[in-house]
Amino acid sequence: MFSYCVEPKSLEGLMWLSCYITTPKHMSFYTSFLVVLILISLAAPLAMAFGFAGAIASRSTIRSLRYIGKGYLAMIRGIPDIVFFLFIPIALDQAFEYLRHKALCPEVTEAIRQGNDFVVCSAAKLPLSSASEWVHDIYGFSLALLAFGFVFGAFTGNVLFGAMAAVPRSQLETGEAYGFSPSKIFRRILLPQMWIYALPGLSNLWMILIKATPLLFLLGVEDIVYWARELGGIKTGVYDYPHPDWRAWYFAVLLVFYLALTYLSQSVLDKISSRLSIGQDTMAGRAN
């Protein structure tokens, strides 16, 4: 970064530190904070979409659709999250490659699954071996994002299902008395009023989602936990910037980051809750 960083072993004090914290690996460490923010900003609406689909399916009058919705919500709740976080990216990756293999390499007759190996033609590989490194990074991040959305979508669906059930039945019956169709009752009465009941549960899920972001490390994404452990470990004299075990300092930075993020989130959520409570027949609404 700086011109005097050419010979790091000859540096001392602040000059050494300025060169150390501006190495390419440290730049990747700083960028990984942005990766975490992008993940939660994309995973939250994705989980909401999965959750809405699951909650609406669970309330459907169509029996098969209702069973699918309830099965999705119950399955995630009954199986450890880490199983799905590890299973979904692998399953999706193999599914994509299987479909590409069938479409791009129809002349290949050998079995794709050969014992413990999953073998597809080179053209079906995702990403392609010739792809740039950033393509591999985005592909891995996308699979992780789908895993987060699928898992937290089930929890979101349970919250939304309960919030829909909490809306007073008399409100819905009033809509029926005015001749509203079921879809109009859902859009004009149920959907607007359910949010005040759903917000506490959604707030907790948002906090859990933030705390779950270190799972990116287990999914092969170079996140802040990966870089904190990588940079903080003992570096001997064979490295340009040798230092003792500094992992406690790096993880302290992560501690401050997550505390700041959760504090800011709670402040925003409190304001949203106060606004949604206005005019509602709840304790918070009557207080406003």
Q: pLDDT class for 30, splitting at 50, 70, 90?
A: very high
Q: pLDDT class for 108, splitting at 50, 70, 90?
A: confident
Q: Does the pLDDT of residue 109 top 60, yes or no? A: yes
Within 10 Å of residue 221's Cβ, how many Cβ atoms? 22
3-state secondary structure the chain: CCHHHHCHHHCCHHHHHHHHCCCHHHHHHHHHHHHHHHHHHHHHHHHHHHHHHHHHHHCCCCHHHHHHHHHHHHHHHHCCHHHHHHHHHHHHHHHHHHHHHHHHCCCCCCCCEECCEECCCHHHCCCCCCCCHHHHHHHHHHHHHHHHHHHHHHHHHHHHHHHHHHCCHHHHHHHHHCCCCHHHHHHHHHHHHHHHHHHHHHHHHHHHHHHHHHHHHCCCCCCHHHHHHHHHCCECCCCCCCECCCHHHHHHHHHHHHHHHHHHHHHHHHHHHHHHHCCCCCHHHHHC
pTM: 0.83
Q: What is the pLDDT of residues 164-198, one digit of tens each?
A: 988 888 888 888 888 888 888 888 888 888 888 89
Q: Does the pLDDT of residue 287 top 70, yes or no? A: no
Q: What is the pLDDT of residues 38-48, one digit of tens each?
A: 999 999 999 99
Q: What is the pLDDT of residues 2-23, one digit of tens each?
A: 777 877 777 778 888 888 888 8
Q: What is the pLDDT of residues 216-229, one digit of tens each?
A: 887 878 889 989 99
Give the pLDDT of residue 281: 55
Range name among 59-63, 127-131, 151-155, 267-271 with the lowest pLDDT average:
127-131
Q: Does the pLDDT of residue 252 top 90, yes or no? A: yes
The residue ranges of every structural domain in the chain are: 225-288
Q: Does the pLDDT of residue 136 top 90, yes or no? A: no
